[in-house]
Amino acid sequence: MIVSVIMPVFNAEKTLLESVNSVLAQSLTDFELILIDDGSTDSSAVIAQQLTAQDQRIKLLSQANQGAPTARNHGISQAKGRYLSFLDADDRWRDDFLIQMSQALKRAQQDFAYCGWQNIGTQQGEPFVPPDYQAMPDKKLKLIQSTRWPIHAVMVNRKLVIENGMFDTRYQTCEDFALWLRLTLSRNIVRVPEVLAYYVHHQHGQQTDNRAQILLDHFQIQQDYFKQHPKLASELGRAQLIQLSEGHLYTQAMTAYWQGDLMAARQVFRHLMKRRYGKIKQWLYMLPSLLPIRLHQQLLALKRGH
C-alpha cells in the first residue's frame, strides 16, 4: 500500500463527508483512509461507520476525547502505508494530491514532501506555494522560524515519523511544527510547486480561532527544540536565536495588532515583556497591553486615525 491517510474526527458531522469524498476522489487509489473518532458527541461516529461500510479502504478507530495529536498517533500506530498524509475532517485535497506527492518522493528518493495550499471559505486567500527550502543556503534558519505549510500539505515516510516519536501530545496546537522540525532540518525535503491542499475556514469552532495560543505554542516549540539541540543553539548564537524566536513572535503579534485582533496581541506582548524582549520602540507598542482592554482599544483607534 502506498499511502495511509490519517483523519482525526471530532464533532465534524457537517464537514466530514466532503473531506472524505476529497480522499475517495483521488486519482491514486492505492490508499487506506483511517478515521479516528476522538470522542465526538454529534453524529460524526455514525457517519464514519456508514462510510466504512461503503468503501473497504476506510477504517474507523475510536477513542475518548484526547485531542488531534493523540488521535493522529492512534491512526499512525495502525497504518500500513509506506507514506502518511494528514487531512482534518473539514479540509480538502485536489484530486491529484496523493499521486503528485508520492511520485515526487519516489523521483527524488526522499522521505518528506510539501506542496502549495490555499485558504477557502470565510477567510478566502490567494493560492500560496512555499519556497524551495532545500535550495536555500539558510534552510535551517528559515524552517526554525516557521514551516510555511499546513499539516494537510505534507506527505512523509511512515517509518520516519514513528522513529521520530510521532506527534508530541504535550502541544495541543502547532504539534505538526514540532514534528516537522525533527524531520526536516537534517535531511533533504521535496517541494511540489502546485496548490494541492485547501484549508477550509468556517465561522467558528476551529483550532485557528485561538491565535494567541498558536503563536505562544509555536514559540515554546522553538525554545524546546533549542534546549534539545544545544550544539545548534550555540552555532546560531544568542542574537540569532532571539531573532528567530522572540523576534518572529513579536512580528506575528504586531500583525495581529494591526489586523484588530487586540486580545491575541495583548497576550503575546505580555509574554514578551516578561522575557524582557525588545527595544524602546517595541515597548511603546507593548506597554499598553497592561492597560484595561477598553483603554487599549481607544489608543489603537487613535493611532489608526492618524
> Is 165 found in the same domain as 101?
yes
Predicted confidence band of residue 208 (pLDDT cuts 50, 70, 90): very low
CATH of the domain at 173: 3.90.550.10
Residue range 212-267, pLDDT digits in tens? 999 999 999 999 999 999 999 999 999 999 999 999 999 999 999 989 899 999 99
> Is 51 found in the same domain as 31?
yes
> Is 166 found in the same domain as 246?
no
> Is 233 found in the same domain as 111?
no
User: What's the average model confidence in pLDDT over 86-99?
Assistant: 97
Q: In degrees, to the nearest 5, what angle opens at C-alpha 219 toward C-alphas 136 and 174?
A: 85
> Is 190 found in the same domain as 136?
yes
> Is 145 found in the same domain as 247?
no
What's the confidence (pLDDT) of residue 137?
Answer: 96
> Is 132 found in the same domain as 13?
yes
Task: Tell me: pLDDT of 299 over 90.
Answer: no
Are residues 246 and 279 in contact, defined by beta-carbon separation less than 8 angstroms?
no
User: What's the average model confidence in pLDDT over 121-132?
Assistant: 86
Q: Which domain holds residue 58?
A: 3-207
- Alpha-helix runs per DSSP H in 164-292: 175-184, 211-228, 230-236, 238-242, 248-258, 262-274, 280-286
Q: Which residues contact 50 (CB under 8 A, 6 or more apart)?
A: none
Predicted confidence band of residue 94 (pLDDT cuts 50, 70, 90): very high
C-alpha cell recorded at residue 164? 521520530
Helix (H) or strand (E) holding 114: strand 112-121
Residue range 9-22, pLDDT digits in tens? 999 999 999 999 99
Are residues 30 and 56 in contact, defined by beta-carbon separation less than 8 angstroms?
no
> Is 215 found in the same domain as 201?
no
Task: Tell me: pLDDT of 93 over 60.
Answer: yes
User: What's the average model confidence in pLDDT over 119-130?
Assistant: 85
Task: Tell me: pLDDT of 123 over 80.
Answer: no
What's the confidence (pLDDT) of residue 207?
Answer: 47
Q: Which residues contact 113 (CB under 8 A, 6 or more apart)?
A: 101, 104, 105, 154, 155, 156, 189, 190, 191, 192
128 DSSP 8-state letter: B
For the chain, the average pLDDT equals 94
Q: Which amino acid is at 224?
A: D
Residue range 22-35, pLDDT digits in tens? 999 999 999 999 99
- The total of other beta-carbon atoms located within 10 Å of residue 230's CB is 9
Which of 207, 240, 269 is where one domain is finished? 207
The residue with cell 506555494 is: 129
What's the confidence (pLDDT) of residue 147?
Answer: 96
> Is 249 found in the same domain as 135?
no
Rounded percentage of the chain residues whose pLDDT exceeds 90: 90
> Is 56 found in the same domain as 45?
yes
> Is 203 found in the same domain as 218?
no
User: What's the average model confidence in pLDDT over 272-296?
Assistant: 95
> Is 200 found in the same domain as 106?
yes
Task: Tell me: pLDDT of 38 over 90.
Answer: yes
Rounded percentage of the chain residues whose pLDDT exceeds 70: 96
Which of 153, 188, 207 is where one domain is finished? 207
Residue range 157-168, pLDDT digits in tens? 999 999 999 999
Which of 179, 207, 235 is where one domain is finished? 207
Residue range 243-254, pLDDT digits in tens? 999 999 999 999
User: What's the average model confidence in pLDDT over 66-90?
Assistant: 97
How many domains does the structure of the chain reveal? 2
Q: Specify the pairing of strand 190-201 against strand 83-86.
A: unpaired
